[in-house]
Chains A and B, each alone.
Chain A
Amino acid sequence: MSSKIDKNYHIISFEDVHKWFGNFHVLKGINITIDKGEVVVVFGPSGSGKSTFIRTINRLEEHQNGKITIDGIELTTDLKNIDAVRREVGMVFQSFNLFPHLTVRDNISLAPMKVRKWSRKEATRISDELLERVGISDQADKYPAQLSGGQQQRVAIARSLAMQPKIMLFDEPTSALDPEMIKEVLDVMKELASSGMTMVVVTHEMGFAREVADRLVMFDEGNIVESGSPEEIFENPKNDRTKLFLSQIL
């Protein structure tokens, strides 16, 4: 896996990032750099700040202290920078968040047409290509509600990919799925990882993490308590919290 990683380029960098929700200190000084092409799996108990962390990367949540730099662009209140980052960063949500009033094809081609200003023809071509890639090209004219959960999540992945992002964020992408549908989504994600995409994945699918991740990051109470390769984390976790958590979910 590691051959595709460009260790000279930190595409995501967090320096002492803090965030509060009111009085609640969610992120307590996060420091992390992620290389281009790296697949990072983030895990930890609920409320540990892992979702907030991933949502600060495309500024769905704003941080209050510290410095976040994405692909050379610093995230500040500057709307231009935020727009630029969001164009480069795709995101897949736990609850899919497909647009229910648009067909599958329109869900995918909307952003390229409106944000990238591609022609409808070009956008349609790309969306049909992506539907092929995620394995549901026969569903293009249906509405999201007519698809199964696994199919919806694959459409959501295709929708993000249509913007040709450099980074893909996955916020618990399989948590809302029935067990028999998890695999079809994970397969798409594996294929994506092997294509060299930089990915940050919040998930408790440890099989996926072991197989695909370059690095695992354990969050607890707003801190990164441990990080390392799958072998290090699974075979020889150093932190007691990590040991306890892994023993509970494995």
Chain B
Amino acid sequence: MITEQERSIFSITTSIYNWVRENLFSSPLNVLITLCVFPFAFYLFISSGDWILNKAEWDAITRNTRIFLIGQYPQSELWRIGTVAFITTNLLGISWHLKGVVFQRLSLIILVPLISVILIPPIFLDISIGLRSWFALVSMGFLLGYLLSKFQNLSTRVLLVSWSLSMIIDFILLRGIEGFGALPYVSTNEWGGLLLTFFLAIIGIMLSFPLGIFLALGRRSNLPFVKGACVIFIESIRAVPLVTLLFMTLIIVPLLLPEGWRLDRVGRAIAAITIFSGAYMAENVRGGLASVPVGQTEAAKALGLGPLLTTTLIVLPQALRNVIPAIVGQFISLFKDTSLVVIVGLLDLVGIGKAVVLGNVEYIDQQAEVYVFIAAVFWVFTFSMSYVSQIIERSLGVGDR
């Protein structure tokens, strides 16, 4: 007699066997390629594993976790960062039951690394108890939100408002208010590390997306002036490297602003990132607009919908859905491009890495480790973004032809 367990093991081994057969040894050429590539792949796997676990020294990162996460943000004000993180995970928990699986997957992407960091024993991961408890507290935020959503099912509209409000609250919390004792002002120049990377990316995305939509609509306008202005803007921005724009905004923006106004370094960097990314976004959106059949506009017109309603209710939703991959691709490159702000003297994640390596003699040998770590962090976030985009695409694809 074969037991249930034996049978399931048997079926797993046959399915592995079948997979290997179909994918690696399906034809003489494939057999040859497999035999040639396998030793290299195996060697690469073993040696990188060996490097990560045995050879590499990770204390440049573990001893400086706080700096990598938030840069020079004053130690006495750490609770504000914690609160922001708490609010965010809390809202994620509350949004868990929202239609579609987007928020569920997003939560898992954030929670799994957080909880694994908490749970890895100190012998393997040498980070402070304080940081671990912060991570634990932030995870608790999620749990609280999740429980809340079980009792009180909030509507999509309420959640949308909450998310928008939380953005504003987050910003005020992080920046503080000048002359207000409880929340002393923290200049954005002191923000750094992952905090700055996130801040630049999120604000950049939130501003460049609508900018791109307006530019794309403007480019299709019948008014020659509007159309011309948009074309000139888009084409001249796309013709310039981001680095040049960063330098230009650093110098030109202060000249353009009225006297008495000032925009700090981070604000100027955001301006550069926004107009740069907005121009590319416009071209993506334009592609989407062109993909909507003209019959859709005609049907909307025939029903008596005006140009504004036709655009916002009929054309844009379809246009944007058709180009989600391109839009998310642009978000991803914006996220990675934030590392260029090093050039204008801001210390984002990459900038901090560079500073840690160059600033301490003891870590000078750990350059490779630091950059591997930074690459891994970027990979996790960009991969999550494209993963979430696939989910969104699938969940919006219900009405596909």
Contact = CB atoms under 8 A, between A and B. Distances in A.
Given A89-B302, A111-B304, A97 B399 contact: no
Chain A, interface size category, equals: 20 to 34
Given A101-B317, A101-B318, A87 B298 contact: no
B313 interface: yes
B322 to A, nearest CB: 10
Given A60-B298, A95-B295, A110-B313, A101 B304 contact: no
B314 interface: yes
A238 interface: no
A97 B305 CA distance: 14
Contacts of A37: none
B302 A114 contact: no
B6 interface: no
B295 A100 contact: no
A144 B321 CA distance: 16
A99 B302 contact: no
Given A97-B296, A100-B401, A101-B321, A86 B309 contact: no
B303 A115 contact: yes
Given A101-B399, A114-B309, A58 B317 contact: no
B306 A83 contact: yes
B150 interface: no
A159 interface: yes
Q: How large is the interface on B (under 10, 10 to 19, 20 to 34, 35 or more residues)?
A: 20 to 34
Contact of B299 (A97, A101, A115): A97
Of residues B296, B302, B306, B313, which shows the largest number of chain A Cβ atoms within 10 Å of its Cβ?
Answer: B302
Contacts of B399: 100-102, 143-145
Contacts of B304: 83, 86-87, 111, 115, 163
A99 B296 contact: yes
A86 B318 CA distance: 23
B305 to A, nearest CB: 6
Nearest to A143: B399
Contacts of B318: 99-101
A208 interface: no
A150 interface: no
Interface in A123-143: 143
7 contacts: A86-B303, A97-B298, A97-B299, A99-B299, A111-B305, A160-B303, A163-B303
Interface of B: 293, 295-296, 298-306, 309, 313-314, 317-318, 321, 396, 398-401
Q: Which 10 A-B pairs have the closest CB atoms?
A: A143-B399, A97-B299, A111-B303, A91-B302, A97-B295, A86-B304, A87-B304, A115-B304, A100-B399, A145-B401
Interface of A: 58, 60, 83, 86-87, 89-91, 93, 95, 97-102, 110-111, 114-115, 143-145, 156, 159-160, 163
